[in-house]
Amino acid sequence: PFSLFSFQFIAFASLFFILVSITTFCLETHEAFNTIINKTEQVINGTETVLQYEIETDPALTYVEGVCVVWFTFEFLVRVVFSPNKLEFIKNLLNIIDFVAILPFYLEVGLSGLSSKAAKDVLGFLRVVRFVRILRIFKLTRHFVGLRVLGHTLRASTNEFLLLIIFLALGVLIFATMIYYAERVGAQPNDPSASEHTQFKNIPIGFWWAVVTMTTLGYGDMYPRTWSGMLVGALCALAGVLTIAMPVPVIVNNFGMYYSLAMAKQKLPRKRKKHIPPAPQASSPTFCKTDLNMACNSTQGDICLGKDNQLMEHNRSSGRTPL
């Protein structure tokens, strides 16, 4: 019971610190927790000033993040020490994410006291790499069955995702080319590039429009203005719906299968340790009976006969007569 309680406590504590760390990461970008500091410095000759501003995060958020990192470090070290296979532990993607999310904080703390230009450049790079902390959201897969099911589904549906990407790539290439030439139908003679009445100046620009249209997003930043371009746009939207609809049922079936397996595994009763009685000693009266009650195959006749003879000798020495 104590070990089960400890495991549950560590699981809830880990979940709590993951949520706190992600919340802190989001709040650090809010202007209410950032202060702009003017660090304008003058050149040595005093004739020129270099404007330099730096954003300083609220120290309270830094302390909260430090506490979270200490917990994640403790958890990571414990799992490293008690891992039976260190090589498999290192190869695990979630463990790599844990290490990459922890390391920048210690490097930033270690370099914060240095004033050299190289240290400042490294600190600037580490502040950019802070986004790695958002990867801690994947640690929730250890605590939620649904996220583990989603991960298994994505791994099992690799071929379907690859097929979907190929279909979309072909459609984007075809419809980007078609919209480029369709928009030039109404071009004026003095405007050979058709830049005055259309935004599709080249085929690569049409790639973005084709992706947005085939996925039925329709941002509206680019749209056809000629009747031929509108026809191509309608065909592109219909083709996108059909292209996405074909591989999706396979992915949904995989998710349903893994989800059913996960739910069935949770409903299974926990295995209890079976009581194995100790083997009878040679001096106990049940030793010979146990041997005689065992089924004897034809290939074990000599062994059984030897045991019968041992039983008869035992009865004679004890003054018993066999029945």
Which residue among 143, 168, 188 closes a domain?
143
Does residue 108 lie within any of the structural domains?
A: yes
Does residue 276 lie within any of the structural domains?
A: no
Number of other residues whose CB lies within 10 A of the CB of residue 157: 20
Does residue 320 lie within any of the structural domains?
A: no
Helix, strand, coil percent values for the chain (each to nearest 5): 70, 5, 30
Based on the fold, state whether residues 105 and 72 are members of the same structural domain.
yes
Q: Which residues of 111-134 are buried (b: 16+ CB within 10 A; e: fewer)?
A: beeeeeeeeeebeeebeeebebbe
Based on the fold, state whether residues 172 and 212 are members of the same structural domain.
yes
Based on the fold, state whether residues 127 and 218 are members of the same structural domain.
no
Which residues, 6 or more positions from 203, have their beta carbon under 8 angstroms from its beta carbon? Answer: 176, 177, 180
For residue range 4-63, list pLDDT tens digits in order: 567 677 778 888 888 898 888 888 888 888 777 766 555 555 555 666 666 777 888 888
User: Of 75-84, 218-227, 247-256, 266-275, which gets the smallest average pLDDT?
Assistant: 266-275
For residue range 243-261, list pLDDT tens digits in order: 888 888 888 898 888 888 8
DSSP state of 136: G
Torsions phi, psi of 191, nearest 5? -130, 75
Total number of domains in the chain: 2
Range of the structural domain that residue 192 is part of: 149-267
Does residue 200 lie within any of the structural domains?
A: yes
User: Of 31-40, 175-184, 312-321, which gets the smallest average pLDDT?
Assistant: 312-321
- Report the alpha-carbon distance of residue 263 to residue 299 in Å, rounded: 47
CATH code, domain with 166: 1.10.287.70
pLDDT score of 304 more than 50: no
Residue 177's pLDDT is 93
Q: What is the mean pLDDT of residues 285-295?
A: 47
Does residue 311 lie within any of the structural domains?
A: no
Does residue 284 lie within any of the structural domains?
A: no
What percent of the chain stands above pLDDT 70?
Answer: 67
Which residue among 248, 267, 286 closes a domain?
267
Based on the fold, state whether residues 136 and 44 are members of the same structural domain.
yes
For residue range 84-102, list pLDDT tens digits in order: 888 888 888 888 888 888 8
Based on the fold, state whether residues 156 and 35 are members of the same structural domain.
no
Which residues, 6 or more positions from 290, have their beta carbon under 8 angstroms from its beta carbon? Answer: 280
- Report the alpha-carbon distance of residue 108 to residue 197 in Å, rounded: 52
Residue 172's pLDDT is 94
Amino acid at 96: I
DSSP state of 30: S
Residue 278's pLDDT is 56
- Report the alpha-carbon distance of residue 290 to residue 281 in Å, rounded: 11
Based on the fold, state whether residues 204 and 125 are members of the same structural domain.
no
Which helix (DSSP H) or strand (DSSP E) does residue 41 occupy? strand 41-42
Based on the fold, state whether residues 89 and 153 are members of the same structural domain.
no
Question: What is the residue-averaged pLDDT of the chain?
Answer: 76
- Report the alpha-carbon distance of residue 141 to residue 94 in Å, rounded: 9
For the question of whether the overall pTM of this predicted structure is more than 0.85, the answer is no
Based on the fold, state whether residues 166 and 118 are members of the same structural domain.
no
- Report the alpha-carbon distance of residue 223 to residue 275 in Å, rounded: 75
Q: Which of 193, 186, 197, 225 is nearest to 209 (CA)?
A: 225
Measure the CA dihedral 163/169/174/179, to 10°: 140
CATH code, domain with 19: 1.20.120
Report the sign of the C-alpha dihedral through residues 157, 159, 165, 167, in that order: negative
